[in-house]
């Protein structure tokens, strides 16, 4: 499917970085965005984008690709294929692999494996060696190798001094610290604490477990003047904390996920292990607060926390099931529902799913500027499909959205001028 030149015709081009939202054609030549008009190259392939949106390639700033070490769940090739199928041209992969991405060698290996992938892979390095929360990893050297941020995701950084030092040290290298915010002593449960956990007899995790840590990160960022990015926000209280910190000028950014703005803890009913993740699905008030945070600018990004697990880890008793769900293939349609519901507009959708993640991570991506690398997603907002198990591209099928009828999807995903996914 390699095509030297592409002419994407009659689409609605939405490019917030250049304040563009207009009907038009987009020309791709030699892997970059070129000026339309003039004589077309002979080998040009035309793509009819009538009724579609043409946007900068989507970027998911929080995924788990599982390679190296847990390739039975996902690997870099299968994960990037799932990304492309979901409209993503780039993904930032968390370092909780086996071994942990805490040094240059692992970073380089990931980048090497990603060369053949269907999406750009932006590795996130560990904050601490082996992500064990005791001493700083060699962040500078990992930066040179190609990491785009640091995080001990999967685990909270318990030690506040280590978190402070991480924010200070990473900032010297232009890297943001991504916080998995969770107070461990409060989060020994398996789902959100509320009426559903009481009814199901499952141990609950209170919203305070997240908010306490979100506030610690804000306090440290405010005190040091450094940056912090809060991952996968799930609660109303965290949203409020981030909103007010931003109003004070704290350098905090935040992401939430499609599952937090779509589902509540009711999805756990029947002991559905595909509704088990950390942080857990929360109550309806939290879901509404997250949606408000998306509409008022509190959240900068929608990320998936794509966390593949095999059935060995999910077809077990609820208490024993691993945390996490896949999300790359459902993120866009679920986010498009926000546009249809009037929570956000099209421009904001593109900011949340492309421009802002690129900006936070310092990537040369997220725009359709002339001369930019041609990472493009063509979205048909009216294309309906059923997300059935046989359609799943990811190696793992742990999604609570299996069997859902979804509306809107990427019909073309283009990375550097190469079509990585298309649906006719």
End-to-end CA distance of the chain: 14
Burial (CB count within 10 angstroms: exposed 0-12, middle 13-18, buried 19+), residue 86? buried
Burial of 201 (0-12, 13-18, 19+ CB in 10 A): exposed
Give the residue with the Cβ less far from another protein, 201 or 249: 201
Q: How far is the CB of 41 from another protein (least distance, A)?
A: 57
Of 260, 277, 329, the residue nearest 119 (C-alpha)? 329
Residues of span 364-423 touching another protein by CB under 8 A: none
Number of residues assigned to the chain: 424
Tell me the closest approach of the beta carbon of residue 209 to another protein, in angstroms.
Answer: 13
Tokens at 328, concatenated: 């790359």
Asked if 199 is part of the footprint of another protein (rule: CB under 8 A), the reply reads: yes
Q: Is 317 in the site for another protein (CB under 8 A)?
A: yes
| 89: CB partners within 8 A, 6+ apart | 57, 58, 59, 83, 119, 120, 365, 375, 376, 377, 413, 414, 415, 420
- Any idea which residue has 């509404």 for tokens? 288
In the block, tokens 């493009």 appear at: 376
CB of 64 to Zn ion, least distance (A): 9
As a dihedral over the C-alpha atoms of residue 141, residue 145, residue 149, residue 155, rounded to 10 degrees, the angle is -80
112 contacts: CB under 8 Å, gap ≥ 6: none
Nearest distance, CB of residue 231 and Zn ion, angstroms: 5
> Which of the stretches 10-18, 293-301, 310-318, 354-362 binds another protein when contact is defined by CB under 8 A?
310-318
Which helix (H) or strand (E) covers residue 359, if one does? helix 356-361
Query: Does 316 interact with another protein (rule: CB under 8 A)?
Result: yes
Catalytic residues: 305
Q: Which two tokens stand for residue 279?
A: 């942080």
> To 10 degrees, the CA torsion angle through 219, 224, 225, 230?
-50
| Per-residue binder mask for another protein (CB under 8 A), 159-188, x = binder | --------------------------x--x
Span of 72-80, 192-200, 220-228, 232-240 interacting with another protein by CB under 8 A: 192-200
Q: How far is the CB of 364 from Zn ion (least distance, A)?
A: 26
Closest distance to Zn ion from the beta carbon of 392 (Å): 22
Among 196, 267, 336, 352, binds another protein (CB under 8 A): 196
Q: Of 210 and 375, which has the nearer Cβ to Zn ion?
A: 210
Q: With CB cut-offs between 5 and 8 Å by kind, which of another protein, Zn ion, none does residue 340 bind?
A: none
Structural element, H or E, at residue 168: helix 160-172
The only residue of 84, 92, 149, 202 in contact with another protein, by rule CB under 8 A = 202
Residue 125 binding target from another protein, Zn ion, none, CB below 5 to 8 Å by type: none
Structure-token pair, residue 4:
């030297």
Provide, rounded to whole angstroms, the least separation between the CB of residue 265 and another protein: 11
The structure tokens listed for 411 are 């019909």
Are 57 and 89 contacting, i.e. CB atoms less than 8 angstroms apart? yes
Q: What are phi and psi for residue 281, nearest 5 degrees?
A: -60, 135
Is 319 among the residues that bind another protein (CB under 8 A)?
A: yes
Q: Give the whole-angstrom CA distance, residue 101 versus residue 121.
A: 13
* Residue 198 binds another protein, judged by CB under 8 A: yes
Q: Is 180 in the site for Zn ion (CB under 5 A)?
A: yes
Query: Site map for Zn ion, 113-152, x if CB under 5 A?
Result: ----------------------------------------
Q: Is the Cβ of residue 18 or residue 198 nearer to another protein in the bound state?
A: 198
User: Strand 5-15 and strand 53-56: pairing?
Assistant: parallel
**Quick one: which of 15, 153, 217, 255 contacts Zn ion (CB under 5 A)?**
153
The yes or no reply on residue 284 touching another protein (CB under 8 A) is: no
Contact partner at residue 180 from another protein, Zn ion, none, CB < 5 to 8 Å by partner kind: Zn ion
Residue 257 or residue 278: which is nearer to another protein going by CB? 278
Nearer to another protein, 145 or 186 (CB): 186
In whole angstroms, give the CA distance from residue 215 to residue 250. Answer: 12
* Binding positions for another protein, 259-278, rule CB under 8 A: 270-271
Are β-strands 228-230 and 252-256 bridged in parallel, bridged antiparallel, or unpaired? parallel
List 51, 144, 203, 288, residue binding another protein (CB under 8 A): 203
Residues near another protein, by CB under 8 A:
185, 188, 193-204, 270-271, 315-320
Residues near Zn ion, by CB under 5 A:
153, 180
């Amino acid at each position: 499917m390699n095509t030297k030149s592409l002419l994407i015709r009659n689409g609605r081009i939405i490019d917030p970085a250049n304040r563009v939202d207009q009907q038009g054609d987009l020309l791709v030549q030699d892997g970059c965005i070129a000026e339309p008009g003039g004589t077309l190259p002979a080998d040009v392939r035309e793509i009819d984008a009538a009724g579609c949106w043409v946007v900068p390639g989507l970027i998911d700033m929080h995924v788990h690709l599982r390679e190296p070490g847990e390739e039975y769940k996902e690997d870099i090739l299968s994960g990037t294929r799932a990304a492309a199928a979901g409209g993503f041209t780039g993904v930032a992969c968390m370092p909780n692999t086996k071994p942990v991405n805490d040094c240059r060698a692992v970073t380089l290996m990931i980048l090497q494996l990603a060369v053949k992938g269907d999406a750009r892979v932006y590795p996130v390095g560990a904050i601490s060696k082996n992500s064990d929360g005791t001493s700083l990893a060699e962040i500078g050297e990992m930066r040179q190798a190609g990491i785009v941020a640091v995080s001990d995701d999967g685990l909270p950084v318990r030690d506040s001094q280590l978190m402070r030092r991480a924010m200070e040290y990473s900032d010297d290298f232009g890297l943001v610290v991504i916080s998995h915010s969770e107070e461990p002593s409060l989060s020994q449960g398996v789902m959100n604490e509320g009426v559903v956990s009481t009814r199901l007899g499952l141990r609950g995790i209170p919203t305070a477990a997240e908010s306490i840590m979100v506030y610690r990160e804000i306090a440290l960022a405010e005190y040091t003047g450094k940056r912090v990015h809060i991952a996968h926000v799930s609660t109303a209280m965290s949203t409020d904390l981030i909103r007010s910190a931003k109003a004070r000028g704290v350098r905090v950014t935040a992401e939430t996920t499609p599952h937090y703005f779509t589902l509540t803890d009711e999805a756990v009913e029947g002991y559905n292990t595909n509704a088990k993740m950390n942080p857990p699905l929360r109550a309806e008030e939290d879901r509404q607060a997250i949606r408000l945070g998306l509409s008022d600018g509190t959240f900068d990004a929608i990320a998936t926390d794509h966390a593949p697990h095999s059935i060995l880890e999910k077809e077990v008793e609820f208490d024993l099931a691993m945390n996490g769900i896949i999300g790359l293939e459902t993120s866009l349609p679920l986010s498009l529902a926000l546009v249809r519901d009037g929570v956000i507009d099209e421009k904001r959708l593109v900011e949340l799913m492309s421009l802002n993640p690129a900006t936070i991570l310092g990537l040369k991506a997220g725009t359709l500027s002339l001369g930019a690398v041609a990472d493009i997603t063509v979205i048909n907002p009216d294309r309906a499909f059923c997300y059935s198990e046989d359609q799943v591209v990811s190696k793992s099928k742990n999604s609570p959205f299996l069997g859902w009828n979804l509306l809107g999807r990427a019909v073309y995903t283009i990375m550097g001028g190469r079509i990585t996914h298309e649906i006719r």
